[in-house]
A and B are shown apart, each in its own frame.
Chain A
């Protein structure tokens, strides 16, 4: 998994809203016997936005996507695409385009035939089908591979064809079911950016299901975090990362240090010997604040400790330092002279604002 500190959160969408529609999950419950996959989900996707549904395995995100696609029915609640209640509409008539995790291309059809399949189902003429398929394969950078069969394409190319196929029918909503999870890291980043580029170009409302928080933060206009079938938080990547609403979100979206803080006058607190502004309402009693690894610094004073591990992550190096305040995770710019394992150093605060733990 990529590291959160290296992620550039997506800029607010510049998507043209003309093609986008609103999507609503209203009070959705989905139960399998005594297991509640979704326990009352209320969620609205804005026209033309890319919303990432983020959460661990079993949190209900794929269930939500399947309910929207029409592959499953809610136990309770309604699903709306635009003004249309599609809860009881079969999958084939929902006007959604979906990219699956992997292996979804029809193996006996060429890439072009795969892309044209939806148009064939809509009885579009052969010439128009071929034109549109060619156009979309060009859009995903595979204009010269229309005659290839799926097994002749790499995993990344197959997912590009799957994306072109989903878009060929000009769906109201694009559904992405962890489309990058079966790809290697380099291709994953490339395709992630490509999906975003195409989504912005098409201006299509998109639901992107993923368990990879870096992926969600990088690509989405807004991120909705699910846990145990409930919506924990929804907001821009910056909001979710910077101001997690619940301890679960704080833990799931990136690494979070929890530090004891001393109350000072004027709404200030002291953390690791450094004064900082308290950002938010603090509960009475002992105060604990949440600090991201990149908001800590080593070697510049503060709490003394011993380095117990270092991980080189390219532009950033992650250190774990054992201090009196506990084991602290620090992300610092990679450079010569950083303390190694077993060496003594200090950990201090490199931010002026800290947030109390809810």
Chain B
């Protein structure tokens, strides 16, 4: 590719400044990672690249006349944040505005550029600089003067843009007319899907908030049993008193472990509401304690996991409902996974339960 003298000078400037761009890339990525972490934001992707010499040469060959110096080209360093949901793009952009200095004149919101009856590329592009108060390296003062481009878009917007790019087109007008319509239809469909995902997430968040307040109100019979309600119920530590009583057998330390594996046990036991679990707890706590007493007394074991309480409650409920040894084996399989130990354990626990008259 043959470039004119002016473009060759810009290329020379690019080669000389490559170490600064490398450092800028490191700073941009680390600042963005830090910012996202601080705000507990998970994104689908965070990436950056420096334009290659070949790519820059191509750009200069096409429109080198537009640029006086390398500083006029704002995408030598390009970074991109890919969010999971389309409505997170605005949230991320608000954080970016606080973090970096934004060159508003050259920034563009492609989401607002399309006519209401058109579908296509949706992305937010900011042209930014690193402010000195954020990062200042006296040996590299030009780092704060160089502009870079930051693109923000959702995963589905990213998918569409990537496919489009993969076909080798840089702009919509390059696409043969017969394919333009199909690409637009796909863009419209992905926009709808994006919107639905955001909507579902908002609704689930609202649902979880409602569940938390319903559980906290104590009207357990009105709370249907599902993963969310069970998690909220566990926050009230409903099995803690029984666990403490069991720990007191050997003056043991209580270790808090996860009780979530028991959700599926209650579900399979036919519990429909949190109230059903509460009733089971009230009904079988004494039996669960008696079983622990038989197993732990005299062993000197002075550490027990909180799950012992819920485990023994389930054992007693299964035996009282007449599911016998097979029911216990199923319980252990559900909680600990299928293993040869489960049959032996079920047999041993069944024998212990017989000794204290837990068998129905």
- The reply to whether chain A is a binding partner of chain B is no
